[in-house]
Amino acid sequence: MLKNKTLGSMLIVAGTTIGAGMLALPIASAGLGFSVAISLLAVTWVIMTYTALLMLEVHQYADQDATLNTLAKNLLGKKGQYIANFSMVFLFYALCAAYIAGGGQQLQEKFTNWLGAGLSPQLGSIILAVAIATIVTLGTSTVDKLNQVLFTIKVIVLTSLFFILTPYVHGQHLIDMPLEQGLVIAAIPVIFTSFGFHGSIPSIVKYVGLDIKQLRKVMMFGAALPLVIYVFWQLISQGVMGQSSLMASEGLPGFVASISNIAHNENVNLFITLFADLALATSFLGVSLGLFDFFADAFKKNDNTSGRIKTALITFLPPLGFALFFPQGFIMALGYAAIALVVLAIFLPVAMVRKQRKQIENQGYQVKGGNIGLTIAALFGVIIITSQILQMMGLIPSLG
């Protein structure tokens, strides 16, 4: 039973991480060249896996069902709790609203293409939100089972896509170097957000239990799977198209059309569309599960049918409302997602572990690296925020 939970939790981590944004990675990293893009992916993976393990170090001394709200309050006081809560709610509400709005449009297209029936994007958003809310309300076990099915299909789709495109990879495209140094700095926040799963860690701890050995496997292998898939995706996409062609692509539709024409295969478009749908579903499940458990802890809701329905309303109604009535506001908020994720996934784990190690010395599980590791992780967070601010000020190129 525990092994099933461990595998399922790995796939929740991977499914939350591998979102539809993966499709934009080749465009966002087009000016970097393959080797530099892979290096940034590897460094980011190391940092994000490290901070995920830091979260486990913090969790071992807390209750099994503790969320970031409780952890931050216990170790960092009220100010730390407020910062943690704001970052969590801001980031996850923005993501949920984006998934609801984007998913509503995708459902509209499906109904039109398959059934020839008209469906407004707003109604599509409502249907998607109700469906995901129902699954999350039923519990982590239900999310786990559905996510395993969706993730398996997603891997099959990606494998098929790789099989179709591999013959069109040209080695000379993979030795291109960055067109300008500013592009490397600008790409860091984009790549960083491609490894964001930390908000789901408390839900996984609650589901698996405080078994640090199993949880370490979940975090390390769950985060490693996206890295492997990202590397293959960069290899295929950057190998099929040269830097100039990628840079000239007019967003994701232009990129998809270009590689479909190169491969002379209509299935490329079908597979990418299917992958985008599955990626949105698995990411939405993981993000909303983390937000659901966060609110259940913050508002002390009972874990019964009535309590879970109330938590679901708090979790899904606000992002649904904003997605329906103020979509542009949350699209703008997504521009600040990297900053909120830095606070959530880097600064808070580093600060909580530093405080906890002062209180409890050399007991239990401790992530290797000592203060040097904590400092390097914090500096990486500073670099990401600096890059994001420089892009907003127009001082370096904006990607994606």
CB atoms inside a 10 Å sphere around CB 363: 9
The C-alpha atoms of residue 339 and residue 347 are separated, in whole angstroms, by 10
* pLDDT for residue 57: 94
Q: Spell out the long-range contacts of 352-360 with Cβ–Cβ below 8 A and sequence spacing 24 or more.
A: 352/54, 352/58, 352/71, 352/72, 352/75, 352/76, 352/80, 353/54, 353/57, 353/58, 355/75, 355/76, 356/57, 356/58, 356/61, 356/75, 360/61
Distances, alpha carbon 365 to alpha carbons 120, 243, 346, 368, 396, in Å: 52, 45, 19, 10, 41
* Tokens 């994000």 belong to residue: 48
Residue 345's Cβ-side half-sphere holds a number of Cα atoms within 13 Å equal to: 32
* pLDDT for residue 372: 95
Per-residue pLDDT of the chain (400 residues; tens, 9 = 90+): 556 789 889 999 998 888 766 777 877 777 778 888 899 999 999 999 999 999 999 999 988 888 899 999 999 999 999 999 999 999 899 888 888 887 887 787 777 766 666 677 788 889 999 999 999 999 888 999 999 999 899 889 888 888 888 888 887 767 766 556 667 788 888 888 889 899 899 999 999 988 899 999 999 999 999 999 999 888 888 888 877 777 776 666 677 777 777 777 777 878 888 888 888 888 899 999 999 999 988 888 777 888 899 999 999 999 999 888 876 666 666 677 888 999 999 999 999 999 999 888 767 889 999 999 999 999 999 999 998 888 888 777 665 5
Cβ atoms of 348 and 72 within 8 Å: the answer is yes
The pTM score is 0.88
* pLDDT for residue 47: 96
* pLDDT for residue 77: 92
Closest Cα partner for 17 from 40, 42, 48, 47?
Answer: 48
- Collect all residues with Cβ–Cβ distance below 8 Å to 35 and sequence separation of at least 6: 174, 175, 177
Residue 360 in 3-state DSSP?
Answer: coil
* pLDDT for residue 133: 94
